[in-house]
């Protein structure tokens, strides 16, 4: 793979190193070379002194361009093209474009003499600033950059396309003015080279890799340059075209959402989604720069911010209405379960309620002796609904009539939600045991001593049971009740584990989300949130969704544990998300129920309840059922 | 560790299992003995040789199977399902083939490969461990091959000490251990630092597969590839870190345009290129009888996926697959070095 280029941060070596002019050489009896400013593949740029002004030191920049063609015809054609380009440049007049003074060809090269700019380029400045250039200053430069490129884009008869907008081609002179340097004149030669693409990796628009360039390509370059200046993230060191995945305000909150939106619009992959040219971008920038005279509305005409706002207002306008709500006598912290047209949900008022899913009408309730905080589960074959209570019992109630079938007594509150599998119900108790109970008889088949309260819902696969404990231990227990492995998190594991393709996933109060090899209990990956994780994960779209007390819902890649997106709410998230049809649903302590697009992490809708929502949603036939601490159970259209 | 023994078709030693009954009928003392839900031993399963040690059959010692069944019927219960080991014949283990060739044009082989398999049978029930790496170096003056070889050595050294070493030490469940994917990422970071300091003008791709039991852990940087081949198809499970791949993903380039794009060889990520290195690290469960194929671009540039799958399907020995694929790439001009590793999952 010897032909693979290494393009990052290296200037190509000059072909034939001795081609560079020596300091002291004099060109045209007029320009004495005083230094080398830069060396490029197609020639060098020198600092020179104009000897026609012997009494003052007048510096000029001399740009040298090699004409590598050996064929006489090609050489002359190249030269003519080059002359035309020099003529064109000389005819431009803009304060940000260096003045052109002179032009002369020689045998193997051509020289362009122009204004020497005393200043520093933006690449050097952003490197020195370590990524934090003042936002006001960058916004001012953005205006100046769009102004000069807009000037080029509006040239007649054809717009001039700069093609290579990047920090190293932009200088700030000693007066603080932005100047565009390294005009693409050398590229006329480069175009003759077979296979060479125009543009610098990192700043160039996608279409430039197809050999296409338009004013919108320069707009992309402006966006890429501003992104670099504001984030300090050099795009040459990042995967190409990943600006959208690296929001500016996440790194630099000083940037206004409006400024960010303009930059992100400029960075759209599709040409038609960008500003058509730099002048249009200039206009947008001017609008947000103008001092708001009270009447200037929040700019909504561009970019990401607009979409976000639309999503919000759409949701509000659509007004997700509750199909019904059912009021219990106390807070509903447990999660509903739906079975054959009936919603079963436990409440702090000690009752398990059976509610008609269709209209929210009361069917029956069964009272425990204390609060019901865990979620119920239905054993369909046995016509049982099972739930634990703080009164130390697990209850099995006949779903048809609401009469008690049997109970299992434990030595502590039952806060674990039960799991039905293999004709048994599995659940944990604060007495530190995991119980396996026969559904038919209610007899304890075995109990396994975990050593600490179990409050999660046990995961039961064909071969293994996985439970988390308040000690932070997670155990893999085989179906006969013998421990196979034990994993130690740093804090309690209340989150209920789930399994997919040989891995088991759960969250912990130690702020992490874990993936373990289910056979051995070995840690495959861990993802750190910013607060404890009580929420249980849900899977969908090759992602894992889980809430954190830090207020965000996270979407993680299942196989790598990398964050795909996160969605910030106004409070903690202890509710466990549910996934269906590319949407994620969950409750927030900020009293809202949320629906978020699973691919993008954008809000689909939110619904405000009268209290915090630690309950997790149940989805059935396009309807979402969820409880709130306002005592109500809601049925919402998903 | 019953489960592990079952997985590996081993007979549990009697001492450990004796008296560990599953029926701890705490709340119903005095009632007739419940049928034992402990799955039976492997003796009754076809194709599994349990040897002579029948100590495992405590379920049979304690209860008459017929009675158990009748009791179950009487009580209307369903016993928990038997824990059956995966359908794997005794002695069947992970196997692999490997081949690295200079090709037809190049004067040197800048690829480096490494393959390692640790397989044991003991009461510890240690799962099979495999480590497979393909690295494709770049840079003149032998820098490419040096970068590739340093990378395979450093990565293998780190993974062996932090994973195989930890398995042998039985400290894989140490809570302070980094996650397995983190170990792989760190191995790549170490290689990155070593290449950056020792071979400043060189770089390399690296694709690694670590196998632990039936899980494959894949770490990847660059444009070497890992494919998963099953009875039904072939899937590329790594993503090329190349400019053209990125353009394809953004619908800015068609695969056809990419095939002869002047910058098709430009990588945006490689070992030894930058101080910071972003490593892809993912996990896959390997279905029985499936294969994982690691290769450098010298293969995939010339042999399309479907042909790779066909050749894999036509040869039962993974070594034959490697040799046939290299042969085919050479027949098609072999402009680059060609390296292939095929890992065969038993089943």
Q: Give dist(CA A180, CA A100) in Å, integer.
A: 13
- With helix as H, strand as E and coil as C, how does A48-62 read? EEECCCCCCCCEEEE
Q: Do A490 and B175 touch (CB under 8 A)?
A: yes
**Percentage of chain A exceeding pLDDT 70:** 89
What is the per-residue pLDDT for B250? 85
The answer to whether A362 touches A353, Cβ cutoff 8 Å, is yes
- Given a cut of 90, whether residue A313 has pLDDT beyond it is no
For residue A446, the distance in angstroms to the closest alpha carbon of chain B comes to: 5
Q: Could you say which of B138, B179, B268 has the minimum Cβ distance to residue A524?
A: B179
* A462–B contact, CB cutoff 8 A: yes
- Find the mean pLDDT for residues B271-276: 87
Q: A184 pLDDT band (50/70/90 cuts)?
A: low
The answer to whether A141 touches A171, Cβ cutoff 8 Å, is no
For residue B317, the distance in angstroms to the closest alpha carbon of chain A comes to: 27
Instruction: Output the six-digit token pair for A635.
Output: 């049925």
The residues, any chain, with a CB within 8 Å of residue A431's CB and separated by 6 or more, are A392, A410, A411, A412, A453
Instruction: Output the six-digit token pair for A178.
Output: 């932005």
* B323–A contact, CB cutoff 8 A: no
Lowest mean pLDDT among A74-88, A145-159, A274-288: A74-88
- With helix as H, strand as E and coil as C, how does chain B read? CHHHHHHCCCCCCHHHHCCCCCCCCHHHCCCCCCCCCCCCCHHHCCCCCCCCCCCCCHHHHHCCHHHHHHHHHHHCCCCCCCCCCCCCCCCCCCEEEEEEECCCCCCCCCEEEEEEEECCCCCCCCCCEEEEEEEEEECCCCHHHHHHHHHHHHHHHHHHHHHHHHHHHCCCCCCCCCCHHHHHHHHHHHHHHHHHHHCCCCEECEEEEEEECCEEEEEEECCCEEEEECCCCEEECCCCCEHHHHHHHCCCCCHHHHHCCCCCCCECCCECCCCCCCCEEEEEECCCCCEEEEECHHHHCCCCHHHHHHHHHHCCCHHHHHHHHHHHHHHCCCCCCEEEEEEECCC
Q: Give dist(CA B28, CA A437) in Å, integer.
A: 12
What is the architecture of the domain spanning A120-290+302-316?
A: Orthogonal Bundle (1.10)
What is the per-residue pLDDT for B64? 52
Q: Give dist(CA A421, CA A426) in Å, integer.
A: 8
Helix (H, G, I), strand (E, B) or coil at A235: helix
Q: Give per-residue pLDDT as tens, A566-625.
A: 999 999 999 999 999 999 999 999 999 999 999 989 999 999 999 999 999 999 999 999
Residue in chain B lying closest to A239 (CA): B268
Q: Could you say which of A206, A479, A559 has the minimum Cβ distance to residue B83?
A: A479
Contacts of B144 in chain A (CB under 8 A): 1-2
Q: Do B180 and A524 touch (CB under 8 A)?
A: yes
The domain limits of chain B are 2-75, 95-344
What is the per-residue pLDDT for A158? 83
Q: Give per-residue pLDDT as tens, B20-37.
A: 333 333 444 444 444 444
Distances (CA, A) of A15 to A11, A18, A39, A41, A67: 12, 9, 10, 7, 12
- Given a cut of 50, whether residue A331 has pLDDT beyond it is yes
For residue A533, the distance in angstroms to the closest alpha carbon of chain B comes to: 18
Please identify which residue in the block is written with the tokens 């006329």.
A188
Query: Which of A97-119 are b and which e, b meaning 16 or more Cβ less than 10 Å from the residue's Cβ?
Result: bbebbbbeeeeebbbbbbbbbeb
What is the per-residue pLDDT for A319? 63
Helix (H, G, I), strand (E, B) or coil at A621: coil
Q: Do B2 and A484 touch (CB under 8 A)?
A: yes
What is the per-residue pLDDT for B46? 42
Give the number of other CB atoms < 10 A from CB of residue A570: 11
Q: Could you say which of A445, A478, A557 has the minimum Cβ distance to residue B34?
A: A445
Q: How many beta-carbon contacts under 8 Å exist across A and B?
A: 214
Q: Do B79 and A524 touch (CB under 8 A)?
A: no
Residue in chain A lying closest to B264 (CA): A4
Give φ, ψ of A228 to 5 degrees: -65, -45
Residue in chain A lying closest to B140 (CA): A2
Report the half-sphere exposure of B276 (CA within 13 A, side-chain side).
7
Give the number of other CB atoms < 10 A from CB of residue A608: 12
Report the half-sphere exposure of B138 (CA within 13 A, side-chain side).
25
* SS3 of chain A: helix, strand, coil, percent, to 5: 20, 35, 45
* A526–B contact, CB cutoff 8 A: yes
Contacts of B283 in chain A (CB under 8 A): 502-503, 515, 524-525, 559-560
Residue B209 pairs in a beta bridge with: B132, B218
Lowest mean pLDDT among A198-202, A415-419, B257-261: A198-202
* B141–A contact, CB cutoff 8 A: no
Residue in chain B lying closest to A444 (CA): B25
Q: Give dist(CA B95, CA A236) in Å, integer.
A: 41
For residue B330, the distance in angstroms to the closest alpha carbon of chain A comes to: 16
Overall residue count recorded for chain A in this entry: 638
What is the per-residue pLDDT for A41? 62
For residue A501, the distance in angstroms to the closest alpha carbon of chain B comes to: 6
Q: Give dist(CA A572, CA A552) in Å, integer.
A: 7
Residues 298-317 of B with CB under 8 A from A: none
| Averaged pLDDT score across all residues of chain A | 86
Query: Which of A495-521 are b and which e, b meaning 16 or more Cβ less than 10 Å from the residue's Cβ?
Result: bbbbbbebbbbbbbbbbbbbbbbbbbb
Please identify which residue in the block is written with the tokens 């091959």.
B145
- Find the mean pLDDT for residues A249-270: 93
Q: Do B262 and A195 touch (CB under 8 A)?
A: yes
- Given a cut of 50, whether residue A351 has pLDDT beyond it is yes
Residue A407 pairs in a beta bridge with: A395
Q: Give dist(CA B206, CA B220) in Å, integer.
A: 6
Q: Do A6 and B274 touch (CB under 8 A)?
A: no
The correct CATH number of B95-344 out of 3.20.20.100, 3.60.40.10, 1.10.150.120, 1.10.1740.110 is 3.60.40.10
Nearest to A611 by CA among A626, A589, A582, A596: A589
Lowest mean pLDDT among B40-44, B66-70, B100-104: B40-44
Residues 47-106 of B with CB under 8 A from A: 75-81, 83, 106
The residues, any chain, with a CB within 8 Å of residue A505's CB and separated by 6 or more, are A497, A498, A499, A513, A514, A515, A516, A537, A539, A544, A558
Q: Give per-residue pLDDT as tens, A40-70.
A: 666 788 999 999 888 888 899 998 888 777 7
Residues 248-307 of A with CB under 8 A from B: 269
**Nearest-10 Cα torsion for B269, B272, B275, B276:** 40
Q: Give dist(CA A108, CA B48) in Å, integer.
A: 81
For residue A560, the distance in angstroms to the closest alpha carbon of chain B comes to: 4
Q: Give dist(CA A565, CA A600) in Å, integer.
A: 7
* B203–A contact, CB cutoff 8 A: yes
Contacts of B215 in chain A (CB under 8 A): 502-503, 517, 519, 524
* B272–A contact, CB cutoff 8 A: no
The domain limits of chain A are 17-115, 120-290+302-316
**Rg of chain B in Å (alpha carbons):** 25
Distance separating the N- and C-terminal Cα atoms of chain B = 22
Contacts of A525 in chain B (CB under 8 A): 179-182, 281, 283
Q: Do A4 and B178 touch (CB under 8 A)?
A: no
Q: Give per-residue pLDDT as tens, A416-469.
A: 999 999 999 999 999 999 999 999 999 999 999 999 999 999 999 988 999 999
Structural element, H or E, at residue A112: strand A109-115
Contacts of B246 in chain A (CB under 8 A): 239-241
CATH class of A17-115: alpha beta
Residue A349 pairs in a beta bridge with: none
* A211–B contact, CB cutoff 8 A: no
Q: Which residue has the higher pLDDT, B150 or A24?
A: B150
Distance between alpha carbon A507 and the CA centroid of its chain, in Å? 21
Q: Do B212 and A522 touch (CB under 8 A)?
A: yes
Q: Give per-residue pLDDT as tens, A9-19.
A: 333 334 444 56
Q: B45 pLDDT band (50/70/90 cuts)?
A: very low
Mutant choice from B139, B181, B235, B251 vs A, greatest count of A C-beta within 10 A: B181
Residue in chain B lying closest to A463 (CA): B83
Helix (H, G, I), strand (E, B) or coil at A281: helix
For residue B183, the distance in angstroms to the closest alpha carbon of chain A comes to: 9
Whether the predicted interface score ipTM is above 0.90: no
For residue A412, the distance in angstroms to the closest alpha carbon of chain B comes to: 15
**Nearest-10 Cα torsion for A326, A329, A330, A331:** 0
* B145–A contact, CB cutoff 8 A: no
* B24–A contact, CB cutoff 8 A: yes
* A519–B contact, CB cutoff 8 A: yes
Q: Give dist(CA B11, CA B21) in Å, integer.
A: 17
What is the per-residue pLDDT for B76? 44
Give φ, ψ of A27 to 5 degrees: -105, 135
Q: Could you say which of A209, A481, A557 has the minimum Cβ distance to residue B252?
A: A209
Q: Give per-residue pLDDT as tens, A471-524.
A: 999 999 999 999 999 999 999 999 999 999 999 999 999 999 999 999 999 999
The residues, any chain, with a CB within 8 Å of residue A128's CB and separated by 6 or more, are none
Give φ, ψ of A467 to 5 degrees: -130, 145
Query: Which of A237-269 are b and which e, b meaning 16 or more Cβ less than 10 Å from the residue's Cβ?
Result: bbbbbebeeeebeebbeebebbbbbbbbbbbbb
Helix (H, G, I), strand (E, B) or coil at A168: helix
Helix (H, G, I), strand (E, B) or coil at A89: helix
**Percentage of chain A exceeding pLDDT 90:** 63
Q: Give per-residue pLDDT as tens, A525-554.
A: 999 999 999 999 999 999 999 999 999 999
* A239–B contact, CB cutoff 8 A: yes
**pTM metric for this prediction:** 0.76
């Amino acid at each position: 793979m010897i032909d693979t280029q290494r393009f990052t941060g290296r200037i190509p070596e000059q072909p034939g190193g001795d081609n560079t002019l020596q300091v002291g050489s004099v060109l045209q009896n007029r320009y004495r070379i005083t230094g080398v400013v830069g060396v490029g593949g197609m020639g060098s740029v020198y600092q020179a002194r104009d000897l026609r002004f012997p009494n003052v030191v007048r510096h000029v920049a001399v740009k040298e361009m090699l004409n590598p063609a050996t064929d006489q015809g090609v050489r002359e054609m190249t030269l003519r093209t080059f002359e035309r380009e020099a003529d064109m440049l000389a005819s431009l007049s803009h304060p940000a474009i260096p003045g052109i003074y002179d032009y002369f060809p020689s045998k193997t090269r051509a020289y362009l003499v122009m204004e020497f700019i005393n200043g520093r380029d933006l690449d050097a400045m952003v490197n020195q600033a370590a990524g934090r250039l003042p936002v006001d200053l960058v916004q001012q430069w953005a205006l100046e950059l769009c102004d000069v490129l807009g000037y080029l884009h509006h040239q007649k008869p054809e717009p001039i396309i700069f093609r290579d907008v990047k920090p190293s081609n932009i200088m700030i002179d000693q007066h603080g003015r932005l100047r565009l340097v390294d005009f693409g004149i050398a590229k006329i030669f480069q175009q003759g080279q077979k296979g060479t693409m125009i543009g610098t990796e990192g700043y160039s628009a996608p279409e430039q890799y197809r050999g296409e360039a338009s004013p919108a390509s320069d707009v992309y370059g402006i966006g890429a340059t501003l992104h670099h200046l504001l984030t300090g993230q050099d795009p040459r060191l990042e995967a190409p075209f990943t600006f959208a995945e690296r929001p500016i305000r996440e790194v630099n909150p000083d940037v206004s959402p409006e400024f960010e939106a303009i930059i992100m619009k400029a960075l759209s992959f599709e040409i038609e989604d960008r500003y058509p040219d730099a002048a249009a971008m200039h206009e947008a920038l001017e609008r947000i720069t103008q001092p708001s005279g009270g009447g200037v509305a929040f700019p909504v005409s561009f970019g990401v911010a607009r979409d976000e706002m639309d999503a919000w207002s759409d949701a509000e306008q659509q007004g997700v209405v509750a199909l019904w709500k059912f009021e219990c006598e106390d807070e509903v912290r447990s999660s509903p379960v739906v079975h054959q047209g009936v919603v079963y949900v436990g409440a702090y008022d000690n009752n398990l309620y059976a509610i008609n899913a269709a209209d929210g009408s009361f069917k029956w309730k069964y009272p425990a002796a204390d609060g019901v905080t865990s979620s119920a589960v239905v054993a369909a074959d046995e016509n049982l609904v099972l739930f634990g209570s703080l009164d130390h019992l697990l209850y099995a109630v006949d779903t048809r009539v609401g009469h008690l079938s049997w109970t299992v007594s434990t030595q502590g509150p039952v806060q674990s939600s039960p799991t039905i599998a293999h004709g048994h119900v599995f659940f944990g108790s604060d007495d530190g045991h995991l119980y396996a109970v026969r559904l038919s008889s209610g007899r304890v088949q075995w109990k396994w001593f975990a050593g600490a309260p179990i409050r999660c819902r046990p995961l039961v696969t064909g071969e293994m049971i996985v439970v988390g404990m308040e000690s932070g231990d997670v155990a893999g227990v085989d179906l006969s009740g013998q421990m196979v492995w034990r994993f130690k998190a740093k804090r309690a594991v209340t989150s209920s584990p789930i399994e997919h393709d040989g891995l088991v996933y759960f969250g912990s109060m130690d702020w992490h989300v874990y993936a373990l090899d289910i056979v051995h209990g070995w840690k495959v990956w861990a993802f750190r949130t910013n607060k404890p994780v009580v929420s249980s994960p849900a899977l969908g779209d090759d992602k894992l969704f889980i809430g954190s007390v830090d207020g965000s819902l996270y979407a993680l890649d299942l196989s790598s544990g990398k964050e795909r997106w996160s969605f910030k709410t106004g409070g903690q998230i202890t509710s466990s998300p549910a996934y269906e049809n590319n949407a994620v649903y969950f409750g927030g302590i900020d009293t809202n129920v949320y629906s978020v697009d699973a691919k993008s992490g954008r809000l689909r809708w939110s619904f405000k309840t009268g209290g915090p929502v630690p309950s997790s949603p149940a989805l059935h036939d396009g309807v979402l059922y969820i409880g709130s601490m306002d005592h109500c159970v809601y049925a919402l259209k998903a | 560790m019953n489960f592990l023994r079952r997985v590996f078709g081993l007979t549990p030693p009697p001492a450990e299992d004796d008296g560990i009954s599953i029926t701890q009928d705490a709340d119903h003392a005095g009632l007739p003995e419940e049928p034992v839900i402990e799955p039976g031993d492997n003796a009754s399963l076809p194709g599994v040789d349990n040897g002579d040690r029948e100590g495992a059959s405590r379920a049979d010692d304690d209860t008459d199977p017929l009675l158990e069944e009748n009791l179950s019927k009487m009580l209307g219960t369903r016993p928990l399902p038997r824990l059956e080991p995966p359908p794997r014949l005794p002695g069947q283990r992970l196997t692999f083939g490997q081949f690295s060739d200079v090709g037809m044009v190049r004067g040197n082989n800048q690829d480096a490969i490494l393959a390692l398999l640790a397989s044991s049978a003991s009461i510890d029930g240690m799962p099979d461990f495999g480590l497979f790496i393909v690295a494709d170096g770049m840079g003149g003056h032998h820098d490419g091959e040096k970068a590739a070889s340093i990378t395979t050595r450093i990565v293998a050294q780190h993974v062996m000490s932090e994973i195989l070493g930890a398995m042998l030490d039985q400290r894989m469940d140490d809570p302070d251990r980094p996650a397995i994917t983190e170990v792989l990422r760190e191995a790549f970071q170490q290689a990155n630092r070593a290449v950056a300091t020792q071979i400043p003008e060189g770089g390399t791709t690296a694709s690694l597969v670590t196998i632990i039991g039936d899980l494959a852990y894949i770490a990847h940087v660059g444009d070497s590839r890992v494919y998963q081949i099953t009875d039904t198809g072939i899937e590329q499970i790594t993503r090329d870190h190349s400019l053209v791949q990125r353009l394809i993903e953004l619908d800015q380039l068609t695969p056809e345009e990419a095939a002869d794009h002047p910058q098709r060889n430009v990588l945006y990520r490689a070992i030894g290129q930058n101080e910071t290195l972003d490593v892809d690290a993912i996990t896959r469960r390997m279905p029985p009888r499936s294969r994982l194929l690691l290769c450098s671009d010298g293969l995939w540039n010339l042999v399309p996926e479907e042909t790779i799958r066909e050749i894999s399907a036509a040869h039962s020995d993974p070594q034959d697959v490697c040799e046939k694929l290299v042969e085919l790439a050479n027949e098609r001009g072999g402009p680059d070095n060609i390296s292939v590793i095929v890992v065969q999952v038993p089943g």
